[in-house]
Amino acid sequence: MFRRTFLRPEAAFFLLAWLGLAIAFQSRAFNDPGALWHVRVGELILDHGFMTTDPFTYTFAGRTWIPQQWGGELLMALAHRAGGLDAMLLGFAAGTAGLFTWVFSRMVRNGMHPLLAGGVAAFALVVSAFHFYARPHMFTILGMGVTTAAVVDYERGRAGLWRLWWLIPFNVLWANVHGGVLGGVMTFGMAVGGWAVVWGWGRLFASAPAAERGTNFRSLLTLAAVVVACGLTPFINPFGMEMLNTWKKIVGSTAMKELVSEHQPLSLGNTAGQVVVGFAAFYLFALLGTLPRVRVSWLLPLVWLALSFQSIRQGPLFVIVGAIAIADLWPHTVWHRLLKKYGDSLAREPEGASRGWGWLVPAALAMLLSVGLQLGNVPLPVVGRGWAKLDERYIPVALADDVRAVAANPKARLFNDANLGGFVLYVTPGQKIYMDDRFELYGDPWLREYAEVVYEEPQGFEEWCSCYKFDHALLQVFPEEQRSKLEKALSEDPRWVVVSRCDTAVLFRRVAPIPLSPKERFLRGYR
């Protein structure tokens, strides 16, 4: 009884996924520039409450800016205070492993042998891992899974309207963690719209039995009310309309799509695009096996696949929606029937009842053990203290002391690459930076000018220096064929000398007087 309740395949899958993620993302979880400044935002909220203006830059000080991902940032800051990067990695790995273990369990329940379900769920995890970072956006991947599962279970008759009503408070939480809640509302709305079409088609042509239509006019009105309520949840936040204005700036930014790789269209020229297309092929193969009977919920991944071709950032959302759809459609495929017919043990009869959550007990015990080791400062690989670290191949950890020395000088001011803003904020709390990757703050004109000066026309850097009076510059270092023109220009400019350099960045100091701004030249000439 104990073994059947607690020592289930889900427990083994969770432990393997958790340990695998903790090893693979030991440093990679923090490679995204925002992974570090999100921690600082959360700490400022804990210490001083919500801010409504930019607290980090000397270029946009006083400009309107809100922490629109404040819920996730608070969790990150609390984890960091408790156990540093190790606690953040533990939360990231455990949460991600728990999500895909849940997907694995749904696959087993619907007639997949645990070995087959483990392979498919692991495939989904690996495919979506290119956009895994210790950042609030991970909650959106979870949210898309929860929303899709609710839609699937309602359509299948496994859950009533109460399950969909619960999406309302869930979306309130989601909206205050990450703006991806809009994707969840859209997905739910498309499902309800699809059910309305199916119901209307059945009423007109009586071409489908009532059970297949899955709803009636009264329930459609109720479902529409739930969709509207979910759509209103983003208004429940500490910042009112400013939250929606921020999301509008992010979604409407064309510069982000031009300059940031994760916002660009899917490309078969890189690994991320290739693996997403590979999972899409598997999903379509499974979907074709259900013809001619297809449910609305099974088609939802097609929308997210199309969105992934527009922006590779949506790839993990397609994968989680597709994985949950595959779990449900599997017993209705010809592939399942063929495997059963020829006696292959990879196909089983779907289980009628839920498999339960007993697997959470050994998973929770493993997490408690890791938390105890970290709080006790026990230096143990993977599960103990000192395992997580910043990746020196992407983050200039070797220059941290030199950056702190600049911050310690009250007369010094640092220019930094956008991708290094989070690093500077992390190693020197309180240091004002030039910019980071909060694109909703800077706006498209600023972003385009920044890219032009750094990569094309470094002559404009002197104007920036004159305007903002920085006497140090921290720039990224790339291989020779990819070097930025600004880094080349400063390396050859006698007015700037190298303070320190590592494989990923270089710190310059200005040795010539900072040029006067046009206003200062005018005033001095007038005097």
DSSP letter string, 305-318 = HHHHHH-GGGHHHH
- The answer on pLDDT for 315 being more than 90 is yes
Q: What is the pLDDT of residues 24-49, one digit of tens each?
A: 999 999 999 889 999 999 999 999 99
pLDDT of residue 521: 57
Beta-carbon contacts of residue 20 (< 8 Å; ≥ 6 apart): none
Check residues 17 and 353 and name the one with the higher pLDDT: 17
Q: Which range (12-21, 68-77, 218-227, 355-364) has the least confidence?
A: 355-364
Q: Report the pLDDT averaged over residues 145-151.
A: 97
- The answer on pLDDT for 256 being more than 90 is no
349 pLDDT band (50/70/90 cuts)?
Answer: confident
pLDDT of residue 264: 87
Query: What's the angle, vertex CA 489, arms to CA 394 and CA 491, rounded to 5?
Result: 65
- The answer on pLDDT for 245 being more than 70 is yes
pLDDT of residue 207: 54
Segments of the chain assigned to CATH 3.40.50: 397-526
Cis peptide before 362 (omega within 30 of 0): no
Structure token digits, residue 188: 């739910």
- The answer on pLDDT for 481 being more than 90 is no
pLDDT of residue 223: 94
In this structure, what is the dihedral angle of CA atoms 260, 264, 268, 271, given to the nearest 10 degrees?
A: 40
Check residues 24 and 253 and name the one with the higher pLDDT: 24
pLDDT of residue 516: 66
Beta-ladder partners of 508 = 473, 498
The answer to whether 167 and 150 are in contact (CB under 8 A) is: yes
- The answer on pLDDT for 378 being more than 80 is yes
Q: Which range (201-205, 245-249, 478-482) has the least confidence?
A: 201-205
Query: What's the angle, vertex CA 18, arms to CA 14 and CA 19, rounded to 5?
Result: 120
Q: What is the pLDDT of residues 411-461, one digit of tens each?
A: 999 999 999 999 999 999 989 999 999 999 999 999 999 999 999 999 999
CA 33 → CA 147, 250, 425, distances in Å? 29, 16, 10
Q: Determine the 3-state secondary structure of 110 from DSSP.
A: coil
pLDDT of residue 344: 73
- The answer on pLDDT for 305 being more than 90 is yes
Q: Tell me which residue has tokens 């509207």.
A: 228
Half-sphere exposure at residue 514, Cβ-oriented, CA atoms within 13 angstroms: 21
User: How far is it, in rounded angstroms, from Cα 438 to Cα 355?
Assistant: 43
Q: Does domain 397-526 have CATH number 3.30.450?
A: no
Q: Name the E strands within 402-456.
A: 414-416
211 pLDDT band (50/70/90 cuts)?
Answer: very low
Q: Report the pLDDT averaged over residues 40-62.
A: 96
User: Which contacts qualify for 52-59: CB closer than 8 Å, 24 or more apart?
Assistant: 52/239, 52/242, 54/441, 56/421, 56/425, 56/432, 56/433, 56/436, 57/432, 57/433, 57/434, 57/435, 57/436, 57/441, 58/413, 58/432, 58/433, 58/434, 58/468, 59/434, 59/435, 59/468
CA 357 → CA 11, 106, 361, distances in Å? 10, 12, 8
Q: Report the pLDDT averaged over residues 176-195.
A: 96
- The answer on pLDDT for 525 being more than 70 is no
Check residues 514 and 520 and name the one with the higher pLDDT: 514
263 pLDDT band (50/70/90 cuts)?
Answer: confident
Q: Report the pLDDT averaged over residues 134-160.
A: 95
CA 233, chain centre distance (Å):
20
Half-sphere exposure at residue 446, Cβ-oriented, CA atoms within 13 angstroms: 14
Phi, psi of 295 (to 5 degrees): -95, 160
Beta-carbon contacts of residue 314 (< 8 Å; ≥ 6 apart): 304, 307, 308
User: How far is it, in rounded angstroms, from Cα 120 to Cα 101?
Assistant: 11
Beta-carbon contacts of residue 251 (< 8 Å; ≥ 6 apart): none
User: How far is it, in rounded angstroms, from Cα 267 to Cα 470?
Assistant: 39
Q: Which range (102-111, 466-475, 518-527) has the least confidence?
A: 518-527
CA 236 → CA 186, 188, 232, distances in Å? 18, 19, 8
The answer to whether 34 and 135 are in contact (CB under 8 A) is: yes
pLDDT of residue 482: 86
Question: 209: alpha, beta or left, given left = phi > 0 and alpha = psi -120 to 50?
Answer: beta
CA 481 → CA 262, 322, 444, 485, 488, distances in Å? 22, 39, 27, 11, 11
- Express as a percent the part of the chain with pLDDT over 70: 94
- Amino acid occupying residue 389: K
- Express as a percent the part of the chain with pLDDT over 90: 79
- The answer on pLDDT for 527 being more than 50 is no
pLDDT of residue 423: 97
Q: Which range (68-72, 147-151, 338-342, 429-433) has the least confidence?
A: 338-342
Q: Report the pLDDT averaged over residues 290-310.
A: 94
Closest CA to 435 of 414, 455, 457: 414
User: How far is it, in rounded angstroms, from Cα 67 to Cα 239?
Assistant: 9
Q: Which range (66-70, 192-196, 347-351, 396-400) has the least confidence?
A: 347-351
The answer to whether 179 and 71 are in contact (CB under 8 A) is: no
Q: To the nearest whole number, what is the mean pLDDT of the chain? A: 91
pLDDT of residue 229: 97
pLDDT of residue 430: 86
